[in-house]
Copies of this chain bind each other. A is one copy, B any other.
């Protein structure tokens, strides 16, 4: 039996949302019984130090805790690792170097899903991820132009993420809408919700004015496609 390892808990609701996407995509691919779903091992480790604070120089380095989670998953012989937290991917190379199992990169999967014809893209992420340039580098390498938030807009994005983490989804949606409005005014033709809390805030929104890429969903699509193509949903 092949296990897919999820390094999760960053944050807790985002991991649950990611698992729900995995299951819905597997149902859409034809699964109707438990035994047709993908086996997972979820290291749900919410105590990992805040990624955004570390990237802004105001918090503890999460890398030792991230590597300890990667190590736990490898000790349990997972065949693939996915991490439904964009900010954690700042440390992707260090995690990949210590992992026997391959790790799907959430930001690469998300940028690859941008619709054709789009050139100017706003990646919404934690303040730390924005500061680290993670999305800006991947967008530039793929020929996209980044539309960057100003300080007030980034405050809306960070407030939105904080509220989702506190379970206050309703309050979070208004902050996301305000950030998107400003970015569209600056010429953004598409948005990447580059933090796995943001899709939870976006779901209650009606018809957004530009296409939005859901990084949780894109990581789930890549994971299900990887697992189903290898027949991992069939019990041995």
Contact = CB atoms under 8 A, between A and B. Distances in A.
Contacts of A10: 34
Interface in A151-177: 162, 165-167
Q: Which of A11, A15, A39 has the most CB of B within 10 A?
A: A39
Copy number in the complex reads 2
A167 to B, nearest CB: 4
A23 B16 contact: yes
A90 interface: no
A206 interface: no
Contacts of A47: 1, 34-35, 37, 39, 234-236
Contact of A40 (B13, B44, B76): B44
A138 interface: no
A46 B35 contact: yes
B1 A12 contact: no
Contacts of A20: 13, 16
Interface in A127-162: 162
Nearest to A65: B235
B33 A165 contact: yes
B16 A34 contact: no
Contacts of A49: 35
Given A1-B47, A31-B166, A39-B44, 19 more contacts: A9-B39, A11-B37, A12-B19, A12-B34, A12-B37, A19-B19, A23-B167, A33-B166, A34-B47, A34-B50, A35-B46, A35-B50, A37-B46, A39-B46, A39-B47, A41-B41, A46-B233, A47-B234, A72-B76
24 contacts: A9-B40, A10-B34, A12-B23, A12-B37, A16-B20, A24-B167, A27-B166, A27-B167, A32-B167, A33-B50, A34-B50, A34-B165, A35-B46, A36-B46, A37-B47, A39-B44, A39-B46, A39-B47, A40-B44, A41-B44, A42-B42, A46-B233, A47-B234, A72-B76
